[in-house]
Structure 1
């Protein structure tokens, strides 16, 4: 019997996301297979909410959804920006890495970050406060439920 904590292959899982206007699309999330239905998230997603890198998930291929089985101890940040100079974004990413985070993905107007929860919310929020107020929106990807209530997994 194999070790269920090790990933055996890279799998891009399609997870369904819904926009504010109700349109749906699939985000392919980088995972490693643990069993037939369990996967470890390798990179925090840019749009799918509720999971972060390091989480072990149970995947439902019919609904294209994930249920967290074990939290990996990481906080996902989804940073959307418009009209922000590239040097500001590059400096911000470098600061993120200096405090212990990592950049898991990037599009023209999106940066996906992962931070170990041990860094703490005050440090993350102080970092986010270094960005311009205009043209920037960010959110925690795996801290709140659908009703906006804290999930509390980090306590």
Structure 2
């Protein structure tokens, strides 16, 4: 989804100086179709990487997480959480002005935009701002034409991961 040139350091990160690269992570849709998402990361050692930008489709990780990357399976296992919450906002038929205003409001809360496609905005929030603040911001978006979800808060069964507690 994002090119290496788009990679920026994770929020508050100053521990890794290696150049960002793209890790291919396998994403599966509800109907079983698969595709690869290229996620910006920096190698820490061996198969350990620091996620630089929150992914738009791959679930379970966010910018700032340290992961163990399995190149064969194209998967990532979190070793250490970076303290950030990934949000994917899918939109259709929403004006550019509304999206720009929303992104500015998110930035005002301390978030950053980690990626953007024609109908998707990927945001990374520091977890310490809290779910209430994030959900209050999301409630300002129009009800029609918007679907959003947490990228690293729930497991595959919809159960909270609880890493922020």
**What TM-score comes out, normalization by structure 1 length?**
0.96
Flag as ranges the 4+ runs of structure 1 deviating above 3 A: none
* Paired position in structure 1 for 2:143: 133
Question: CA–CA distance in 1 between the matches of 2:43 and 2:68?
Answer: 10
SS at match of 1:92: helix
1:128-148 CA-to-partner distances (Å, cap 9, x unmatched) read 000000000000000000000
SS at match of 1:89: helix
SS at match of 2:125: strand
Do 1:105 and 1:112's aligned partners in 2 also have CA atoms closer than 8 Å? yes
Question: CA–CA distance in 2 between the matches of 1:141 and 1:11?
Answer: 21
Gaps of 5+ in 2: 1-14
SS at match of 1:34: strand
* Paired position in structure 1 for 2:5: none
**What TM-score comes out, normalization by structure 2 length?**
0.90
Gaps of 5+ in 1: none
- Once the two structures are TM-superposed, the CA of residue 7 in structure 1 deviates from its matched residue by 4.0
SS at match of 2:116: strand
Quick one: which of 144, 154, 162 aligns to 1:144?
A: 154
